[in-house]
Amino acid sequence: MAFRLRIDDFAEGGAIPREFTCEGKDEPPVLRWEGEPEGTRSFALIMDDPDAPGGTWNHWLLWDIPAEVHSLGDGGEAEGGGLSGTNDFGRRGYGGPCPPAKGGTHRYFFRLFALDTARLGLAQGAQRGALEKALRKHAVGESAYMGRYQRGWR
């Protein structure tokens, strides 16, 4: 079985429902995964928008999610652990899609990484650069899911 991330609330490449955005509840959808590579000891997640006007915008950074966890539930917290990084909104945790009002449709990528270590050694609140550096050393698999959003969509 291939390493697979899925989000039941919208189709791969489809429209992200408003409730998961800054125009709605701004809470993350439920993510589920399966088929991680043998030897996976933890997971990490990056959600970003490569279409942001100033370059890639980081919406959600998580790591040290235990290997036995296979979903992020309502509210986006990993059951049983995990640490949150600082997103580009300047806070820890999830920040939903929020493109400029006249910015057109943006793509949002959820990338889940399988890691060969239980702990990356990053402090709570670390930023993407530090997370990416650690991922280069420890990622043994990756799965991605993409959704789209434009301001004013229902």
67-71, 78-82, 122-126, 128-132, range with the lowest pLDDT: 78-82
pLDDT of residue 152: 78
Domain architecture of the chain: domains with CATH: 4-149 (3.90.280.10)
pLDDT of residue 73: 74
Q: With contact defined as beta carbons under 8 Å apart, do 62 and 56 qualify?
A: no
72-78's contacts with Cβ under 8 Å and 24+ in sequence apart are: 72/28, 72/30, 72/31, 72/45, 73/30, 74/27, 74/30, 75/27, 75/28, 76/27, 76/28
pLDDT interval class at 77 (50, 70, 90) = low
The Cβ-side half-sphere exposure at 113, using a 13 Å CA radius, reads 22
Question: Does the structure show a pLDDT above 80 at 66?
Answer: yes
Q: Above pLDDT 90, what percent of the chain?
A: 88
75-81 mean pLDDT: 59
Q: Above pLDDT 70, what percent of the chain?
A: 94
91-109 mean pLDDT: 94
- Positive or negative, the CA dihedral 145, 95, 86, 121 is negative
Across the beta sheet with 83-84, what order do the strands follow? 83-84, 57-66, 42-49, 106-115, 139-149
Residue 101 class from Cβ within 10 Å (0-12 exposed, 13-18 middle, 19+ buried)? Answer: exposed
78-86 mean pLDDT: 79
pLDDT interval class at 1 (50, 70, 90) = confident
pLDDT interval class at 103 (50, 70, 90) = confident
**Higher pLDDT pick, 129 / 82:** 129
pLDDT of residue 79: 53
Question: Does the structure show a pLDDT above 80 at 154?
Answer: no
